Structure formats: C-alpha cells, structure tokens
C-alpha cells in the first residue's frame, strides 16, 4: 500500500514537473536575435579594427564580475534583462569565437557600434558592421542552425525567436551631421529620411524572408537629450534637450510607425511590434524623481561640458551612484535605464510598445 502511494506521488510530481516545464517553454522565445548599433552591441567590434569599441574600463563596472565586455554601459543592456527574465542564455556577439555549436541555439547578437542603415554610416570609426552585413550574418547563422539541427527545427527556432532591430541614430549622428557630410551636401533632411526608410524596409523584409516571425522595431531615442548633443549647444541651451534633434527623432520615428504598420499588413504570418524608446526616455528625463533619477543631462563618465564631448575613457572618473544617472556616457543610457525600459517592454502599455507588449507576444 505504502509502496503504491509512493509510486502515485512520484507520478504526480513528474507530471507536474513536465507540465510546468512545458508551460514555461511556451511563454518565452526560442532564441534571441539582435540587430542594431551600440545601444545593443555586446562586443561585435572587439575583434576588428574599430574605433567604436567599449571593451575597456570603466565600461562594465557594474556588469557581473565588473568586466568590460564591449557593452557601452556600466552594466547590463535591455537584451540582458530580457534574457534573464526569459531564462535563456544571453545571445553572444555573432563573431565571438565562443559562438559555436549548441550556443548557436540561443540566437546571436549582430549589433555593431557605429553601424547604421546605410553602409557609409559610421565611416569615422573605421570597421563596423552595417545593417546589410548584419542581415547577411543572420542568413549565415540560419545555415549553421540547419547543419546543427536540420531545416525544420531551424525554421521553428527562427519563427519562435525574439528578433529586435535598434538602428538609425548613427545615420544621423555619424553620417548626416558629421562635419563634412556628403549626405548633408546632397539631401535635405526629409529627403534623407526618404532614403533611409526604404532601405530599412528592405532589410526588415530580408530578416522576415530568412525566417523571423516576431520582430520588434525600436524607434530612435531622444537624440536632442543625449549629453553629446547638449554639450554641442553648451552656453546657448542651458543643458536642456535640443529641439532640432528632438524633431528629427520624432520625424524619423513617425515614419517607422508607418513602416511597421505597412509590414504587418503585407506579411500577415509575422507579428511586428514598434517600441517607443523616445517617449519612454523622455518621460524619465522630464520626471526623473518619479523614476528615482537625479541627473538627466550629464554623462556619468565622459569629459567636457555635461561629460558629453569626449567619450568615456579608461582613466576617466565615474559618477559614484550610477543608479541616479540617465546617461552612462555621452551617447548611451545607464543600466538603471535599461532595466526600466526592459520591464516596460515586457509589461508596459501600448504607448511604450505596440500593438502589444513582449509578455503578450510570447504568451
């Protein structure tokens, strides 16, 4: 009697374990694929001759182990928080030598600092991987997956993966607005945006054709509020966000919103989301106390006015309390902001991520 009760109990345990494991499997992505620029780069440029690299201190000062990894941040990025939440190992940089074998099943991060939609964006940094190159890497990754697990399983992984695209800021900051810009000489801003959007559309469609089915396109952040831009207007703008660049970000983002809608209407077996980094970051900047921040226009690490003129360097002092700063360096947010944004992407309202949040996308 005792023995059969024991067997029954064991059976119940095993069943509930299997059930909970299965439901856990269903409410998260199969893998993560990340396209973009330095906002989401985890070290793509570490192994190439690039000036856009962050694999030195004090970057990573709050990262597990305090190590600089290539992330332009004191700590973790949005993708790190998402992978922690979903309990999938973080996707490695595509060109990381450790990105091989079973590790490929977790996805990959193609994002490269200095990169843009256009190939000539970020030329001043020497080597970087523009969007078109990142899309080629995604195609290569798929081939590797097929070799590893076969066509059917590879397709299942790609279709169930969280795919994000965070690109565009550099097409303005490291292309159109550089001191001697052939693009600016040739195009008005509206014309330039008209050039960017169809290229991005083509790139997102390729990502779809390769097999992605859950695609999040991120709008650019409040470009006019980054310490780099605020420092350029030192003396005339009193540390406030610079309207001209805010307007550019809004104009570009408005086109992204339409692009996402258009893609959704044509590619109906995929789900496209738009994440509104602009409004969310602007909220933090305008109501810092509400979110626990004190310093919104000054880089935690960087030199010149507002710490915004010279990138965070090896020997630069670092602000003591990184959780109180919105910006880590002249261009990039702190881990504290990334944590908040990732929570909003998972559970937030349509004003942050539309037409649904990430927990709904993977429900």
Ligand X SMILES: *[C@@H]1O[C@H](CO)[C@@H](O)[C@H](O)[C@H]1NC(C)=O
The catalytic residue positions are: 38, 329, 332
Q: Which of 295, 343 has the CB closer to ligand X? A: 343
Among 14, 100, 124, 363, interactor with ligand X by CB under 6 A = 363
Q: Is 194 in the site for ligand X (CB under 6 A)?
A: no
Q: Which of 115, 230 has the CB closer to ligand X? A: 115
Q: Is 119 in the site for ligand X (CB under 6 A)?
A: yes
Q: Is 199 in the site for ligand X (CB under 6 A)?
A: yes
Q: Is 132 in the site for ligand X (CB under 6 A)?
A: yes
Sheet bearing 107-109, strands edge to edge: 107-109, 32-36, 162-166, 214-218, 271-275, 353-354
Q: Which of 103, 119 has the CB closer to ligand X? A: 119
Among 177, 187, 291, 347, interactor with ligand X by CB under 6 A = 347
Stretch that binds ligand X, among 8-16, 165-173, 333-341, 343-351 (CB under 6 A): 343-351
Q: Is 29 in the site for ligand X (CB under 6 A)?
A: no
Query: Cβ 26 to ligand X, closest distance in Å?
Result: 13
Size of the site for ligand X (CB under 6 A): 11
Q: Is 24 in the site for ligand X (CB under 6 A)?
A: no
Interface pattern 297-336 for ligand X (x via CB under 6 A): ----------------------------------------
Among 93, 118, 248, 296, interactor with ligand X by CB under 6 A = 118
Q: Which of 160, 239 has the CB closer to ligand X? A: 160
Q: Is 264 in the site for ligand X (CB under 6 A)?
A: no
Q: Is 266 in the site for ligand X (CB under 6 A)?
A: no
Q: Which of 106, 203 has the CB closer to ligand X? A: 203
Q: Is 349 in the site for ligand X (CB under 6 A)?
A: yes
**Residues in touch with ligand X (CB under 6 A):** 118-119, 132, 199, 347-349, 357, 359-360, 363
């Amino acid at each position: 009697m005792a023995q059969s009760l024991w067997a029954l109990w064991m059976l119940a345990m095993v069943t509930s374990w299997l059930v909970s494991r299965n439901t856990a499997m269903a409410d998260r992505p199969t893998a993560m694929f990340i396209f973009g620029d330095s906002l989401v780069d985890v070290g793509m440029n570490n192994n190439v001759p690039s000036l856009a690299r962050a694999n030195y201190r004090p970057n990573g000062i709050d990262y597990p182990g305090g190590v600089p990894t290539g992330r332009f941040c004191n700590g973790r990025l949005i993708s790190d928080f998402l992978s922690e939440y979903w309990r999938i190992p973080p996707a490695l940089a595509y060109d990381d030598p450790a990105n091989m074998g079973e590790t490929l099943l977790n996805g990959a991060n193609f994002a490269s600092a200095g990169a843009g939609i256009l190939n000539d964006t970020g030329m001043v940094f020497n080597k970087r991987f523009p969007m078109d190159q990142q899309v080629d890497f995604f195609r290569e990754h798929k081939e590797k997956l097929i070799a590893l697990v076969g066509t059917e399983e590879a397709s299942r992984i790609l279709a169930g993966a969280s795919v994000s695209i965070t690109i565009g800021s550099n097409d303005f900051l490291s292309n159109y607005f550089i001191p001697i810009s052939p693009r600016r000489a040739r195009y008005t801003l509206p014309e330039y945006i008209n050039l960017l959007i169809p290229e991005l559309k083509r790139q997102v469609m390729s990502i779809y054709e390769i097999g992605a089915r859950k695609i999040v396109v991120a709008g650019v952040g409040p470009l006019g509020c980054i310490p780099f831009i605020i420092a350029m207007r030192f003396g005339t703008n009193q540390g406030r966000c610079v309207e001209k660049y805010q307007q550019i970000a809004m104009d570009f983002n408005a086109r992204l919103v339409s692009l996402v809608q258009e893609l959704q209407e044509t590619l109906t077996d995929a789900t496209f989301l738009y994440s509104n980094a602009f409004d969310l970051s602007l909220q933090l900047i305008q109501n810092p106390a509400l979110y626990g921040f004190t310093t919104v226009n000054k880089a935690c690490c960087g030199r010149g006015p507002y710490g915004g003129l010279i990138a965070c360097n090896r020997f630069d002092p670092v602000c003591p309390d990184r959780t109180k700063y919105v910006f880590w360096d002249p261009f990039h947010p702190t881990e504290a902001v990334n944590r908040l944004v990732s929570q909003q992407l998972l559970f937030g309202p349509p004003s942050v991520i539309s037409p649904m949040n990430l927990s709904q996308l993977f429900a």
